[in-house]
Amino acid sequence: MSGTVAAARSALAALETGWRVPASADQRDALLAYADLLMTWTARINLTGARSADQLVEEHFPDAFALASRLVEPARVIDVGSGGGLPALPLALLRPALSIDLSEPIAKKGAFLRTAIRELGLGDRVRVDPRRGEAIADAAPPGFDAATSRATLAPKAWLALGRRLVAPGGRVFGLFAADAVPAGLPSVLYDGGRRALVQVDVPRGTVGLGDAGTGSSRRPGGV
């Protein structure tokens, strides 16, 4: 992270303020340690398009803060298509009450995730599942409190899968480019209107694809 530490810290501070998700000094250090580790591994395998830690924080950490603004209480979460750990690992660092399963079938990405979990001290509540999300849903009703995914599938396909992964009363979150979200899906725009957080609340009892939660076109706080 040579030459980018100050810029990365400044970007983190801006995200904390904008999303009203404060982080402790230890959490900030852990978030930057994750960024450093990801950039180191990216030199060997393609895990992110970011080329510096400050770019990583500015362009990719907003997704984690968006989720952290919604996942405040203790919960069991599954992240599908975890790749290099964005946004699930920063989310885990921001919300220590969450237990997160990372669904990542690609071996080299799974190797990075396991290394990051170990080095960040998250092994007691974050684990890697090498199965695809569909296989996890097929094996048994998983019953997670929330399911998250960042552009792994098209929005409607992800919501259909996410519903199979959560228990009744759970929530499904999808992170997408704003222009990829079909009209009518409840979403919150952020990052200058370029990104969208889609949230669907799964009712207790029988669930149909048309059932949705509530959302708005603006970020919390109107920022």
Per-residue confidence of the chain (223 residues) as pLDDT tens digits? 444 789 999 999 999 999 999 999 999 999 999 999 999 999 899 899 888 899 999 999 999 999 999 999 999 999 999 999 999 999 999 999 999 999 999 999 999 999 999 999 999 999 999 999 999 999 977 799 999 999 999 999 999 999 999 999 999 999 999 999 999 998 999 999 999 999 999 998 744 333 344 333 334 333 2
pTM of the model: 0.90
The span from the CA of 76 to the CA of 73, in Å, is: 10
Half-sphere exposure of 26 (CA within 13 A, CB side): 5
Tell me the DSSP string of 49-108: S--SHHHHHHHHHHHHHHHHTT--S-EEEEEES-TTTTTHHHHHHH-TTEEEEEE---HH
Fold of 59-222: Rossmann fold (3.40.50)
The span from the CA of 79 to the CA of 90, in Å, is: 12
The span from the CA of 5 to the CA of 215, in Å, is: 35
Domains of the chain, by residue range, sit at 59-222
The pairing of beta strand 195-201 with beta strand 166-177: antiparallel
- Cβ atoms 144, 166 nearer than 8 A: yes
Strand partners, 199: 173
- The closest alpha carbon to 67, from 10, 117, 21, 127, belongs to 21
